[in-house]
Amino acid sequence: MGDLTGELKKLLALHGQSHVLRFFDSLDHEQKKRLADQVRSIDFELLDSLASEDSSEFVDFADIEPAEFIRLGACARNDERWRRAHEAGSDALAEGKVAAFVVAGGQGTRLGFDGPKGSYPIGPVSQRTLFEIHAEKVLAASRRYNRDIPLLVMTSSANDAQTRRFLEEKQFFGLPADCVRIFRQDEIPALDRHGKLLLERPDCIFMSPNGHGGSLKALWDSGTIRWLSSRGIEIISYFQVDNPLARVIDPAFIGFHIIEAAEVSLKLLERTMPDEKLGVWVRMNGRLRVIEYIDMPPEKMRERDDDGRLRFSGGSIAINCFSTSFVRRLNERGFQLPFHRASKKIPYIDEKGRRVEPEEPNGTKFETFVFDSLLFTESAIGVETTRRDEFSPVKNAAGADSPETSRRDMSRLYADWLRAAGVRLPVDDHGYPPFFIEISPLYADSAEVLRQVYDGPEEIAGQTVLR
Ligand code: UTP
C-alpha cells in the first residue's frame, strides 16, 4: 500500500485535495483499497474546472424565441398526419426496432422512500410498483406487435444492487430475462464552498449520480448501444421511473420521430401557468433547446400572446425518443454535456472525524440533463401531449406531485378511458372519480384498446381494478 499512498498523495496534492487522506493511516486494508479506487475514478481536471465558477455554460437569453412543435390539434387521433405517424411507429415496433429505456438512477431524496423509487407501490388499488407498471406496458406492447421490446434500466451506485435484486425477485414482471438490461450511470463528487471534496466516511468521498444526462454515456460505456445495434434496434424510447402515466411505448410518437428524421424527439405539454415546473422548449440562437424553469428569465416565463396564452408554450415532460445512431455518434466523437449546479445540504465528517448534518446548504452537487443533448443535434422535434394523459410524477412525499396526486391522476385517466368506452361512473367537474380506479396495462394500455376489450359492468360505482 506504500506506493499506492504515494501515488494518491501526489494526485490529490496536485489538485489541492490532500485532506481526503486525513484518516488513511487508520483504515484497514479493504477500506484503503476502496478509497484509493474512488480517488482513481475521479476526473480531477473536470473537477478543477467545475470548482472555478466560470466553467458554467454561458447562456445568452437575448436571442430566445418560443420553439414550434407538433400540436395536438394537428395530430388528433383521426387526423391523417397522426394516422401516418401511428402506422410508421407500429411498423418500427413490429420490425423490432424499438427499445424502452427507464432512467432510475436518481436518489429520490424528496420522496424519502426506503428503496429504489421504482419499487414504490403506486397502483391506486393494487399497490403495483412503478417498475411493474412500466414493465407491464412494455410487455403489453411486445405482445401486440409480436416482437420482443427490450427494457433498459439505468441505475446508480446507491441503488444498483437493490434494483437488480428487486427486478430479479419479481422475475422482471414477465419480461424475458434476456430482454432486460440493467446498467449503472457514473457518479461525480460534490464540492464544498471552497472547492474541496467532502468525506462521507473516513474511507469514502461523497459522490452522487451525474444526472439523467449521464444516461447517454452510460448507454455507451455499458456496451448497451452495441447490444441494441446487434439486435437491429434503432430507436430508444426514454422515460423517467417516477411518472406512472408515461406512455412508454407510443407508436405515434415513435412514428413522428421516424417521419421527421429526428435524432431527438421530446413530448411537450402546453404550459398554462407561468411558474409550472417544467423545462421550457425554446429556440435559442437558432438552436432548439430545453431550458430549466429556474434558469429562464422570469419575465419570459410570464410573457403572453395576444390571445392570452403563454408565449413560451412548450414544457418538457422528459419522455423522449433518441436514435441509437445519435447516441453512438456522440460517444464515438466524445462529448460533454454542461453541468448544472445545485446548492445542497451535504452531511460530512469534519477534521476530527465527527459527523456534521448541516442546516444550511454547504456544498454544490453537479448534474447533467438529458435534454442538453439538443446542443449536439440539428434534427429534433417536439410533439404535444396533455398532462391528463401522460404526466403525473411522484416527486414529493406529500402535496403537489406526490403519491396521492399521482394515484388520483391515474384514477382520472382510467375513468376517462372507461367513460370513452361507454361505461357510466361518477366524476367531479375535473373528471376525478370519487374512488380509485386502476387498469393493468396487460388488460388495456390505452382508451382505444379498452374500448375493444372491456368486458365489465356498464356502470361502476366503487373502487375498481381491471387486470
Ligand atoms: P429527479 O431529479 O426529478 O428526481 O429525477 P430524483 O433524483 O428521483 O429525486 P430527488 O430529486 O432526489 O428528490 C428525474 C428522473 O431522472 C432519474 C430519476 O431516477 C428520475 O427517474 N435520474 C435523476 C437518474 O436516473 N439519474 C440521476 O442522476 C438523476
Q: Which pLDDT score is estimated for 35?
A: 95
Q: What is the signed CA dihedral for 326, 327, 329, 332, rounded to 10 degrees? A: 180
Q: Based on the fold, state whether residues 284 and 206 are members of the same structural domain.
A: yes
Does a structural domain hold residue 247? yes
158 lines ligand 1 (CB under 6 A): no
Q: Which pLDDT score is estimated for 107?
A: 92
Hey, whose CA ends up nearest to atom 18 of ligand 1?
106
- Tell me the C-alpha to C-alpha distance, in Å, between residue 313 and each of 62, 196, 305, 309: 18, 41, 10, 8
Q: Which pLDDT score is estimated for 146?
A: 98
129 lines ligand 1 (CB under 6 A): no
Q: Cα(312)–Cα(291) distance, rounded to whole angstroms? A: 11
242 lines ligand 1 (CB under 6 A): yes
What's 331-354 look like in SS3?
Answer: HHHCCCCCCEEEEECCCEECCCCC
The neighbour count for residue 51, using CB atoms within 10 Å, is 18
Would you state the cell numbers that stand for residue 230, as one nine-digit string? 446487434
Does a structural domain hold residue 336? yes
Q: Which pLDDT score is estimated for 145?
A: 98
Q: Based on the fold, state whether residues 110 and 98 are members of the same structural domain.
A: yes
Q: Which atom of ligand 1 is nearest to the CA of 102?
A: 21
Q: Based on the fold, state whether residues 437 and 366 are members of the same structural domain.
A: no
Q: Based on the fold, state whether residues 227 and 336 are members of the same structural domain.
A: yes
Domain enclosing residue 291, as ranges: 64-393
Q: Cα(376)–Cα(288) distance, rounded to whole angstroms? A: 10
**In the listed set 393, 422, 452, which residue is the last one of a domain according to the structure?**
393
Q: Based on the fold, state whether residues 386 and 418 are members of the same structural domain.
A: no
For the chain, 467 residues long, the average pLDDT of each consecutive 10-residue run is 75 95 94 94 93 68 92 70 95 98 96 96 98 98 98 97 98 98 97 96 96 98 98 98 98 97 98 94 95 93 95 97 98 96 94 95 96 96 96 97 98 98 98 98 96 96 97
397 lines ligand 1 (CB under 6 A): no
Does a structural domain hold residue 424? yes
Q: Based on the fold, state whether residues 463 and 333 are members of the same structural domain.
A: no
Q: What kind and span of H or E run contains 51?
A: helix 44-51
Number of domains in the chain: 3
Q: Based on the fold, state whether residues 135 and 34 are members of the same structural domain.
A: no
Q: Which pLDDT score is estimated for 54?
A: 59
3-class secondary-structure state, position 274: coil
Q: Based on the fold, state whether residues 228 and 184 are members of the same structural domain.
A: yes
Would you state the cell numbers that stand for residue 146, as one nine-digit string? 409480436
Q: Which pLDDT score is estimated for 367?
A: 96
**In the listed set 393, 418, 453, which residue is the last one of a domain according to the structure?**
393
Q: Based on the fold, state whether residues 402 and 387 are members of the same structural domain.
A: no
Q: Which pLDDT score is estimated for 52?
A: 84
3-class secondary-structure state, position 9: helix
243 lines ligand 1 (CB under 6 A): no
Would you state the cell numbers that stand for residue 397, as one nine-digit string? 412525499
Q: Which residues contact 287 (CB under 8 A, 6 or more apart)?
A: 374, 375
DSSP string, 399-423: STTSHHHHHHHHHHHHHHHHHHTT-
**CA-wise closest residue to 120 among 397, 356, 383, 358:** 397
Q: Cα(315)–Cα(85) distance, rounded to whole angstroms? A: 22
Q: Cα(412)–Cα(433) distance, rounded to whole angstroms? A: 6
Ligand 1 pocket check: which of 183, 395, 396 to mutate, most ligand atoms within 8 Å of Cβ? 395
Would you state the cell numbers that stand for residue 55, as one nine-digit string? 466553467
Ligand 1 centre from 318 Cα, in Å?
11
Q: Based on the fold, state whether residues 452 and 402 are members of the same structural domain.
A: yes
Q: Cα(2)–Cα(86) distance, rounded to whole angstroms? A: 64
Does a structural domain hold residue 55? no
Ligand 1 centre from 416 Cα, in Å?
29
Q: Based on the fold, state whether residues 120 and 80 are members of the same structural domain.
A: yes
Q: Based on the fold, state whether residues 8 and 115 are members of the same structural domain.
A: no
Does a structural domain hold residue 107? yes
344 lines ligand 1 (CB under 6 A): no
